[in-house]
Amino acid sequence: MRPGRLSMVAAEALLLAACSASSPPAAPVEVVVPAGATLSVVADSLAARGIIKSPALFTLWGRLLGVDREIRAGTYAFRPGTGWTAVLRDLTRGRGIMVSVTIPEGLSLREITARIAAVTELHPESVAVRLSAERLPERFGVPGPSLEGYLYPDTYLFAPGTDLDSIIAVLTRRYREFWTPGRRARADTLGMSELQVTTLASIVENEVRRAEELALISAVYHNRLVRGYPLQADPTVLYAMGEHRPRLLYADIDSVADHPYNTYTHLGLPPGPISSPGERALTAVLYPAKVDYLYFVARGDGSHVFTRTLDEHNRARLQVRREGGARSRGAAADAKP
């Protein structure tokens, strides 16, 4: 057989191998591609896991396609016998296994740390230390004074082992996307900075259980700020205490009286956010309801009673206590045979 004919046959055989697939399809197999791994090293890993049969031919095929230097690190899943071209396409485009990370509205930096650590595969304490570095807000373009409040609530996809800086960059970029020119102009109209809006939104986020009350609670705090009243927001005291309690006592407030986040003992907004507010809470702060309420008290069902004066507020507190007592008595009666 002539040399040209031999080369053509070899090329056809290589192409056939590259496009072949097993039948029936097997379960996907995970393969970890470390940073800096060559195509031949990756081919050996693929062969060891039964995804391909000839690492040498696979490597040659990658070189013929000109992608042998474009392999990306990550964790991948392939079915044994998958066509070589499809495997190479995923390896060069970074289509690896992705981990879903959901950050709900109102989570504190401490609570978010554990979720991020699971992706980075670092110890949570190590992640917490790195997240508290002083210059991170400036580095990632957020107001500060820390990253608290700026790791935007959403659902994200990351490859396992993604480095911490990359994750912070994605979450803070998502936060910055909220701040359109129109929203910045609205904050200016209110006489508020980005930091102040986000801080107040984090408080509103932690007070609200029903979305329809966001703008009302926002209005209460706006009204109190305008009148020079202390915000008296329970979530800020809990943040100062560093723990959650179902009921805040006067002794709790006194225990952190000197803390700058205690809005019972300090006028105005605290130095920064106490959690990560979502779009609805941020919008509610930018567009509070047009009401003159100065007080609210929480009912047992998550709703609130809004009032304008201290006398009305005290009556509302008594009303809510009576409602709570009636519910307790009703529950006890229902429990009797």
Report d(CA 56, CA 7) in Å as an integer. 17
Identify whether the C-beta of residue 197 lies closer than 8 Å to the C-beta of residue 286. yes
145 is a domain residue: yes
301 is a domain residue: no
Domain boundary among 152, 178, 204: 178
The reply to whether 196 and 267 lie within a common domain is yes
Identify whether the C-beta of residue 50 lies closer than 8 Å to the C-beta of residue 80. yes
The reply to whether 205 and 277 lie within a common domain is yes
Report d(CA 155, CA 97) in Å as an integer. 16
The reply to whether 285 and 196 lie within a common domain is yes
Number of structural domains the chain divides into: 3
Report d(CA 237, CA 60) in Å as an integer. 64
**pLDDT tens track for 77-116:** 888 888 999 999 999 987 777 788 999 999 999 999 999 9
Write out residues in the chain with pLDDT < 70, as ranges.
1-26, 325-337
The reply to whether 54 and 119 lie within a common domain is no
Name 295's Cβ contacts closer than 8 Å, sequence gap at least 6: 220, 306, 307, 308, 309, 310, 312, 313, 316
Preceding peptide of 153 cis, ω within 30°: no
The reply to whether 199 and 121 lie within a common domain is no
The reply to whether 213 and 236 lie within a common domain is yes
203 is a domain residue: yes
11 is a domain residue: yes
User: How far is residue 71 from each of residues 35, 38, 93, 222, measured CA to CA in Å?
Assistant: 9, 7, 8, 54
Residue 59 is part of which domain span?
Answer: 3-93
302 is a domain residue: no
Report d(CA 331, CA 325) in Å as an integer. 10
130 is a domain residue: yes
Tally of CB atoms within 10 A around 189: 9
Q: Which runs of E-coded beta strand occur in the chain?
A: 29-33, 74-78, 99-103, 154-158, 295-298, 304-307
Report d(CA 305, CA 320) in Å as an integer. 8
**pLDDT tens track for 200-258:** 999 999 999 999 999 999 999 999 999 999 999 999 999 999 988 878 889 999 999 99
The reply to whether 62 and 150 lie within a common domain is no
pLDDT of residue 129: 94
The reply to whether 57 and 103 lie within a common domain is no
Identify whether the C-beta of residue 177 lies closer than 8 Å to the C-beta of residue 169. no
Report d(CA 331, CA 117) in Å as an integer. 42
220 is a domain residue: yes
Collapsing DSSP states into helix, strand and coil, what is residue 304? strand
Q: Tell me how many degrees the CA angle 123-124-130 measures, rounded to the nearest 5.
A: 95
pLDDT of residue 17: 53
Q: Give burial (CB, 10 Å; 0-12/13-18/19+) of 180.
A: exposed
308 is a domain residue: no
pLDDT of residue 330: 41
User: How far is residue 125 from each of residues 4, 137, 182, measured CA to CA in Å?
Assistant: 63, 19, 39
Tally of CB atoms within 10 A around 201: 28
pTM of the predicted model, to two decimals? 0.75
pLDDT of residue 81: 85
Collapsing DSSP states into helix, strand and coil, what is residue 33? strand
The reply to whether 223 and 269 lie within a common domain is yes
The reply to whether 198 and 263 lie within a common domain is yes
The reply to whether 89 and 107 lie within a common domain is no
Q: Give burial (CB, 10 Å; 0-12/13-18/19+) of 88.
A: buried
Domain boundary among 93, 116, 139: 93
The reply to whether 236 and 265 lie within a common domain is yes
Q: What is the CATH number of the domain that holds 45?
A: 3.30.1490.480
Domain boundary among 76, 93, 110: 93
pLDDT of residue 11: 52
Collapsing DSSP states into helix, strand and coil, what is residue 30? strand
Which has the closest alpha carbon to 161: 115, 120, 101? 120
User: How far is residue 178 from each of residues 158, 194, 196, 197, measured CA to CA in Å?
Assistant: 21, 11, 15, 12
